[in-house]
Amino acid sequence: MFRNLFGKKKSDNQEKIITSPMSGDLVDITNVPEPVFSQKMMGDGIAIVPTDGVVVSPVDGVVINVFRTKHAIGLRSKCGVEIMIHIGLETVELNGEGFEMYVEDGQDVKKGDKLLTFALEKIHSKSYNLISPVVITNMDEKVTKMKKLNLDNTVICGTPIMRVLLK
């Protein structure tokens, strides 16, 4: 009652878990051989060296950006955290070849829903680096603290990879 009286809304200040959207080897974002990611220009996060070509939603939320070339997707979790999943490096040059998208902009998704698939061997055979950043793009607005989980381990889809404390 008093918090409403003084115009303050109780802060969620909750911890949320973001799970792995892919199976593979988990590494810190600073190990991605692309400065846009390793220097955290897009935000902080992790990267996965995938062992298969299936990408699932790491959160309950909504699709906010399906890249035309299908190599990346943006999501907004129900708590407002925005996540970009970027498959490989320089894979925009493939113009969607080897990628199949299962969702569209504005679509609601649940944790574990299939978002896209990609032809891992085909993309690798064209000499593209498959390391795939998973980045929180609105850290400053939504996240007080982030802890990276399971770094330097092999994970499967759904394994916790980040714990965030919301503002």
In the chain, the percentage of residues whose pLDDT exceeds 90 is 89
- Which of the following is catalytic: 71, 86, 101, 137? 86
Give the list of residues 6+ apart from residue 4 with CB closer than 8 angstroms, or none: none
**In this predicted structure, what is the pLDDT of residue 124?**
87
User: What is the identity of the amino acid at 75?
Assistant: L
Q: pLDDT digit string (tens) for 43-99?
A: 999 999 999 999 999 999 999 999 999 999 999 999 999 999 999 999 999 999 999
71 is an active site residue: no
List the one residue out of 75, 86, 80 whose CA is nearest residue 110: 75
Domain ranges of the chain: 24-166
Q: How many CA atoms lie within 13 A of 28 on its CB side?
A: 8
Hey, what CATH topology would domain 24-166 get?
Answer: Glucose Permease (Domain IIA) (2.70.70)
